[in-house]
Amino acid sequence: MIMSLLSGEPTNSLEWTIFLAGKYSAMFLQGTYLTLYTAVIGTIVGFVLGYLIGVIQDMTINPGDNVVKKILVRVLKWISSVYVEVFRDTPMIVQAMIIYYGLRQANVEMTPVFAGILVTVLNTGAYMAETVRAGIGSIDIGQREGAFAMGMSPMKTMFYVVLPQAFKNIIPEMANTFLTNLKMTSVLNVIAVQELFMAAKTAGGNYYKYFESYLVIALIYFVLCFVFNKLFILIEKRMQGSEDYALAVEYMDNQ
Amino acid sequence: MSEKILSIKDLGKSFGNHEVLRRIDIEVNKGEVICIVGSSGSGKSTLLRCINRLEKQTRGQIFYHDKEVRDVQKEINDYRSKVGMVFQSFNLFNNMTVLENCMLCTRKVLHISKEEAFDRAITHLKEVGMAPYINAKPSMLSGGQKQRVAIARALCMNPEILLFDEPTSALDPEMVGEVLAVMKELATTGLTMIIVTHEMAFARDVSTRTIFMDNGYVAEDAAPEILFSNPKNARTREFLSRYLAG
């Protein structure tokens, strides 16, 4: 088997897989890099967008508030609910086509990678908004009332009391979203982002060995997701914090 | 009488068709310790929550130092920073330690320095005997300890009035004692307090004025020695006799 590999004549699927992985290693590496790059930036910015939308959707107005605030909050809420609805109800692959070609028709020039990240951000934001909303809802109302009762504004309460707790509760869902994104970047090949799927298509096409070529990237996707999954579990455990506390001995006489 | 802090005028609150509060008129003067008693569902907690604006009243007004507290977030926030509240379910911030719980609102609402916030927190935690636990998270404390921290947290804001919404109802009998002791101590400092409670002996001993609520009305509003020994209202008599017998 080794011999046949050296002579450049793969004879079975396993050999072809190894052959393709070796021959196109630079392309696969570049694809891995772009996949990671798009997924990481897209997810992080998407999370920020999702938190923003989630918080907007939670805003309330008082009857006595001034008109500008009332209108602003209503408009923001309307825009965010339309956005969430549109992006959750259409496939990402279609969004990619429409955004990339649509903006090009409008003479907005952008690289495929930038368009790819934009699509990932918008898609993630819409899903995250719902996750954040659920996360906020999972926090006992008493937590807010405790802060309100001492004069904290709804925004400060959200920022210091509710979101830190909601964040902890939705870490598993955030990990899920990232892993989904890592794999969903594969659809971005339709707008010519040179990510892993594109690399496999190109490599496989040169030798008509698609099965073997996609096997290579399946393995890469698997390893990436596996590693990140373990990483997230570690982070989640870290966030649990210690179950222990040190008594402040300097005040021990005060029981 | 002394300085009037709070006056509640013609306050009403309905949840849908259900009228929980009907025409409540109460005036609160500086230094008063008012206990509100009455059966469950009589509107005691709703009244307290309306006073802190956690519930929006459907009728009537609340005046703080003769100035109406309007339905504007800024005014509500300023008002609440002067009118503290202690809850039945403690409502300590679960993501923070005891010390952080006591420092958050003084820092973010009153904007005092870190050093001053720390000093205030320690002072009031000492008052309730919880200073050794500054590094603990709420989940590691017992109910009585949590409630004592919640009281210290409210005191850090230097409130003019402190509202207590059944502060001992979620506690077992042993812990009730430690919380009531702290509140008794507070009552002697001259702090104005409104306390919704089912602890009749406490109400009789500590309050300067007791209000009996029934079916959304203030049925009787009198000094405790009168209300508990010689109630004028038939419902008050009925309620108290059941309480003292049961």
Q: Which chain A residues touch B130 with a CB distance below 8 Å?
A: 254
Q: Give helix A210-240 / helix A171-184 axis angle, nearest 10°.
A: 160
pLDDT of residue B1: 52
SS3 A171: helix
- Strands B4-15, B33-37: parallel, antiparallel or unpaired by DSSP? unpaired
In percent, the amount of chain B with pLDDT more than 70 equals: 98
For tokens 């605030």, name the residue. Answer: A69
Across residues A95-106, what is the average pLDDT? 92
B109 closest CB neighbour out of A152, A154, A164:
A152
Lowest-pLDDT choice from A2-6, A93-97, A251-255? A2-6
Q: What is the mean pLDDT of residues B69-89?
A: 93
Average pLDDT over residues B110-137: 96
The reported pLDDT for the residue numbered B136 is 95
Output the CA torsion A182→A184→A187→A189 (10° steps): -10
Token pair listed for A164: 């830190």
Is residue A62 very low, low, confident or very high in pLDDT (cuts 50, 70, 90)? confident
pLDDT over 80 (residue B245): no
Q: What is the DSSP string of B93-142?
A: -TTS-HHHHHHHHHHHTS---HHHHHHHHHHHHHHTT-GGGTT--GGGS-
ipTM topping 0.90: yes
Task: Please tell me the predicted confidence (pLDDT) of residue A50.
Answer: 96
pLDDT of residue A6: 55
Sole residue written with tokens 């210290």 = B152
Residue B82 pLDDT: 95
- CA–CA gap between residue B241 and residue B246 (Å, rounded): 8
pLDDT of residue A238: 86
DSSP B144: H
Interchain pair A149, B87: CB under 8 A = yes
Q: Inter-axis angle of helices A25-58 and A13-23, to 10 degrees?
A: 80
Cβ of residue B111 closer than 8 Å to a chain A Cβ: no
Residue among B210, B130, B196, B125 at smallest CA distance from B167: B196
Contacts of B104 in chain A (CB under 8 A): 147, 152, 160-161
pTM for this entry? 0.87
pLDDT level of residue A239 (50, 70, 90 thresholds): confident
| Identity of the residue numbered B41 | G
The label of the residue with tokens 């959304």 reads B216
DSSP-assigned letters across all residues of B3-35: -EEEEEEEEEEEETTEEEEEEEEEEEETT-EEE
Comparing CA positions, the residue from A238, A236, A87 lying closest to residue A174 is: A236
Euclidean distance between CA atoms A157 and B91, whole angstroms: 13
Mean pLDDT of chain B: 93
Distance CA B61, CA B85 (A): 19
Q: Is the pLDDT of residue A1 over 50?
A: no
Higher pLDDT, B246 or B230: B230
Q: Strand B33-37 vs strand B192-196: parallel, antiparallel, or unpaired?
A: parallel
Nearest CB partner across the interface for B95, out of A152, A165, A247: A165
Task: Give the whole-angstrom CA distance, residue B52 versus residue B77.
Answer: 10
Inter-chain touch A168–B95, beta carbons under 8 Å: yes
Positive or negative torsion for Cα B32, B33, B38, B40: positive
Decide if pLDDT at A9 tops 90: no
Interchain proximity A245–B97, CB inside 8 Å? yes
Q: Which of B53, B72, B80, B108 to mutate to test the interface with A (most CBs of A within 10 A)?
A: B108
Give the range among A7-11, A62-66, B38-42, B73-77 with minimum mean pLDDT. Answer: A7-11
- A9 versus A233: the higher-pLDDT residue is A233
Give the CA distances from residue A1 to residues A16, A204, A212, B240, in Å, rounded to whole numbers and listed in that order: 11, 21, 16, 95
Q: Using alpha carbons, select from A167, A99, A91, A177 the residue that is nearest to residue A134.
A: A167
